[in-house]
């Protein structure tokens, strides 16, 4: 593992080997989560490596970084619980064929919630830099968005579910999380975005610069803001089953998984459809959105969004799969203003796209977004249910879905470290060049 720009050897690491040096804003309290990881060439080597970690912790000396090996363990813990958690930590044998390739999942509208990722913005410099790069490209408007987002008081000038807030923030948070994951030395096999997340996927892959992507998203947001208020519904039914309920401008907005479909349309028309569905006993819930994205109601905004496209796409550093076509993004599509503009009106086919991706082999899916919306859809995939593929989420869900093991203050950091621990145990050798040596004694 690389911690100071030089390759070092050893058995284990205490602290945050994949998240930088001194983490701004983290007090030295015992409840702050930290990562321990170790490895051995065989079960006996793993036990010896773990024992050396225990000895170091008991003696209060620094624990050297781990030497990658096929038998691995990791745990996210605290100073008070370190020895107990270390003793109970499970071990994973890396498959002979190597770890499952990583796929990034980037969510869109509906994943946002108050307080999302604010703890990570405080604690993690790489994530913060990724967010600031996006909001900085937004100019003065970006400053207002950041102030609303970081405010402890709900009730911003523009509600968070409004596309004018949700879309920029989701772009910034998804981008920051993707940048953080890439900074660990993980090279994705693919990236798949849902709706607005597709622009983030293309940006992380290097197809667009951040400035080009911001111009595209901003143009789509401004065009969408002129559309009369509407909404979206998540419905436990197939698109075919919902056909008889559709009327006017209410349409299938997204096919997310088996019997997991989204509808969208103008507010009044959508309310009528929702009432009919509820009367017939169909399970549904509102999606946090005030704009009828991916419905015919968005057609008047397409032309204006098309004019906002001003990019010179580059070859991707890793493949991007489109949630609209289900195929890998082509050079022609990447450079088409029409392709990106039409996304605000066209339906998303995330479920079929993910199925096609998983048909290519077992994958480790990592949701880079503020919650577990895409993870909840991915677990419905046959490849995930059968255990061949798996899914991780870099952040917890909304505040009702947060682990209290380290307290709400550290729930974001806990989730990120859990992801890094899982990647290490999977067999990915996490690498991070940092300007200063880690003081692991200060971590525990």
- Measured CA to CA, the distance from residue 364 to residue 380 in angstroms comes to 15
| Torsion angles phi and psi, residue 263, rounded to 5 | -110, 155
Query: Residue 253: which CATH number?
Result: 3.30.70.250
Which has the closest alpha carbon to 253: 297, 293, 210, 201? 293
Residue 210 pLDDT > 50: yes
411 plus 426 within the same structural domain: yes
Boundary residue ending a domain (287, 306, 334): 287
DSSP letter at 101 equals P
pLDDT at 250 exceeding the cut of 70: yes
pLDDT of residue 154: 56
**Phi-psi label, residue 103: left if phi above 0, alpha if psi -120 to 50, beta otherwise:** beta
Higher pLDDT pick, 122 / 62: 122
Least-confidence region, from 14-23, 122-131, 327-336, 405-414: 14-23
CB 162 within 8 A of CB 204: no
Stated pTM of the model: 0.89
CB neighbours (10 Å) of residue 361? 12
Give the model's pLDDT for residue 156: 61
Q: What is the mean pLDDT of residues 142-154?
A: 84
Residue 216 lies in a domain: yes
DSSP state of 64: P
191 Cβ partners below 8 Å, 6+ apart?
103, 104, 105, 106, 178, 201, 204, 205, 318, 319, 320, 321
Q: Is residue 375 part of a domain?
A: yes
> Does the pLDDT of residue 7 top 50, yes or no?
no
Cα separation values, 378 from 174, 373, 387, Å: 17, 9, 12
- The mean per-residue pLDDT over the stretch 66-78 comes to 94
Assigned domain for 320 exists = yes
CB 341 within 8 A of CB 302: yes
Whether 207 and 255 map to the same domain: the answer is no
Span 245-266, mean pLDDT? 95
What's the CATH number where 56 sits?
3.30.70
Instruction: Note whether 107 and 70 are same-domain residues.
Output: no
Task: In whole angstroms, give the CA distance from residue 409 to residue 279.
Answer: 42
**CB contact at 8 A, 371 and 396:** yes
Q: Which residue has the higher pLDDT, 397 or 435?
A: 397
Q: Which among 10, 3, 4, 5 is positioned nearest to 65, based on CA atoms?
A: 10
Contact status, residue 56 vs residue 398, Cβ threshold 8 Å: no
- Joined together, the tokens standing for residue 147 give 């102030």
Per-state percent for the chain, helix, strand, coil, to nearest 5? 40, 15, 40
DSSP, collapsed to helix, strand or coil, labels residue 370 as coil
CA of residue 48 relative to chain centroid, distance = 35
Do 219 and 234 fall within a single domain?
A: no
One domain for residues 235 and 199: no
Region 266-284 average pLDDT: 96
Give the per-residue pLDDT at 437. 25
Whole-number pLDDT of residue 64:
76
**Torsion angles phi and psi, residue 97, rounded to 5:** -80, 0
Contact 214, 134 (CB under 8 A): yes
Q: Tens of pLDDT along 168-186? A: 999 999 999 999 999 999 9
Decide which of 379, 395, 411 is a domain's last residue.
395
| 178 shares a domain with 248 | no
Structural domain that includes position 440: 1-98+401-444
Are 391 and 335 found together in one domain? Answer: yes
On whether residue 237 sits in a domain, the answer given is yes
Of the pLDDT bands very low, low, confident and very high (cuts 50, 70, 90), residue 155 is low
DSSP tag of 100 = P
User: What is the per-residue pLDDT across 309-351, written as a single tens digit (0 to 9) for each?
Assistant: 999 999 999 999 999 999 999 999 999 999 999 999 999 999 9
> Which one is predicted more confidently, 153 or 339?
339
In a domain, 72, yes or no: yes
Give the pLDDT band of residue 436 (cuts 50, 70, 90).
Answer: very low
Pair 282, 426 in one domain: no
pLDDT average, residue stretch 205-226: 96
Q: How far apart are CA 334 and CA 184, in angstroms?
A: 27
Q: pLDDT value at position 240?
A: 96
More confident site: 63 or 187: 187
- Residues 307 and 443 grouped into a single domain: no
Please identify which residue in the block is written with the tokens 């990570």: 120
What the block records as the tokens of 292 is 């009828």
Tokens representing 396?
């917890």
Average of per-residue pLDDT values in the chain: 87
Rounded to an integer, what distance in angstroms lies between the CA atom of residue 75 and that of residue 72?
Answer: 11
**CATH code for the domain in which residue 322 is found:** 3.40.366.10
* Residue at 124 is within a domain: no
Which has the closest alpha carbon to 135: 122, 149, 124?
149
Residue 123 forms part of a structural domain? no
Cβ neighbours for 43, distance < 8 A, ≥ 6 positions apart? 71, 91
Residue 185 sits in the same domain as residue 312: yes
**Over the stretch 277-300, which tens digit does the pLDDT of each residue have?**
999 999 999 999 899 999 999 999
At 404 the pLDDT is: 52
- Are residues 279 and 307 located together in one domain of the fold? no
Q: What is the mean pLDDT of residues 39-53?
A: 96
Kindly state the tokens that stand for 62.
Answer: 């620094």
Yes or no: say if 219 and 301 are a contact pair by the CB < 8 Å rule: no
Assigned domain for 122 exists: no
Is residue 176 domain-shared with residue 325, that is, in the same domain? yes
Count of structural domains, the chain: 3
Q: Cα angle vertex 81, ends 438, 368, to 5°?
A: 60
With bands split at pLDDT 50, 70 and 90, how would you rate the model's confidence at 134?
very high
For residue 289, the tally of other CB atoms under 10 A from its CB is: 23
Examine the pLDDT at 118 and tell me if it is beyond 90: yes
pLDDT score recorded for residue 181: 97
User: Where is average pLDDT lowest: 96-100, 158-162, 224-228, 385-389?
Assistant: 158-162
């Amino acid at each position: 593992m690389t911690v100071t720009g030089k390759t070092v050897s050893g058995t284990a690491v205490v602290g945050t080997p994949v998240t930088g040096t001194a983490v701004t804003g983290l007090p030295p309290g015992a409840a702050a989560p930290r990562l321990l990881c170790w490895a051995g060439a065989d079960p006996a080597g793993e036990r010896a490596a773990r024992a050396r970690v225990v000895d170091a912790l008991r003696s209060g000396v620094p624990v050297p970084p781990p030497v990658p090996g096929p038998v691995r363990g990791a745990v996210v813990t605290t100073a008070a619980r370190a020895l107990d958690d270390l003793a109970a930590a499970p071990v994973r044998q890396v498959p002979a064929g190597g770890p499952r390739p990583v796929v990034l999942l980037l969510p869109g509208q509906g994943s946002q919630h108050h307080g999302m990722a604010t703890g990570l913005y405080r604690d993690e410099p790489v994530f913060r830099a990724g967010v600031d790069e996006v909001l900085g490209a937004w100019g003065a408007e970006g400053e207002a968005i950041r102030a609303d987002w970081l405010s402890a008081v709900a009730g911003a000038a523009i509600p968070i579910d409004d596309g004018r807030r949700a879309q920029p923030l989701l772009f910034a948070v998804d981008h920051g999380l993707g940048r953080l994951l890439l900074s660990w030395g993980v090279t994705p096999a693919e990236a798949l975005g849902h709706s607005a997340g597709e622009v983030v996927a293309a940006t992380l892959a290097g197809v667009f610069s951040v400035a080009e992507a911001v111009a595209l998203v901003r143009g789509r947001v401004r065009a969408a803001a002129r559309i009369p208020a509407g909404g979206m519904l998540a419905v436990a039914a197939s698109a075919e089953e919902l056909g008889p309920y559709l009327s006017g401008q209410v349409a299938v907005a997204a096919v997310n998984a088996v019997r997991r479909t989204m509808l969208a349309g103008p507010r009044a028309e959508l309310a009528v459809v929702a009432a009919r569905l509820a009367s017939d006993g169909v399970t549904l819930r509102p999606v946090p959105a005030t704009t009828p994205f991916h419905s015919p109601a968005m057609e008047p905004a397409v032309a204006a969004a098309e004019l906002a496209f001003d990019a010179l796409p580059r070859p991707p550093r890793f493949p991007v799969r489109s949630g609209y076509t289900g195929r890998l993004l082509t050079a022609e599509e990447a450079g088409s203003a029409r392709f990106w503009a039409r996304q605000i009106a066209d339906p998303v086919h995330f479920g079929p796209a993910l199925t096609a991706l998983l048909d290519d082999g077992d994958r480790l899916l990592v949701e880079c977004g503020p919650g577990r919306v895409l993870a909840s859809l991915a677990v419905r995939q046959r490849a995930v249910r059968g255990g061949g593929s798996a899914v991780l989420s870099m952040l917890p869900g909304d505040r009702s879905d947060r682990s209290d093991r380290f307290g709400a203050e550290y729930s974001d950091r806990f989730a990120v470290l859990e992801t890094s621990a899982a990647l290490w145990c999977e067999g990915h050798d996490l690498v991070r060049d940092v300007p200063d040596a880690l003081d692991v004694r200060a971590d525990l």
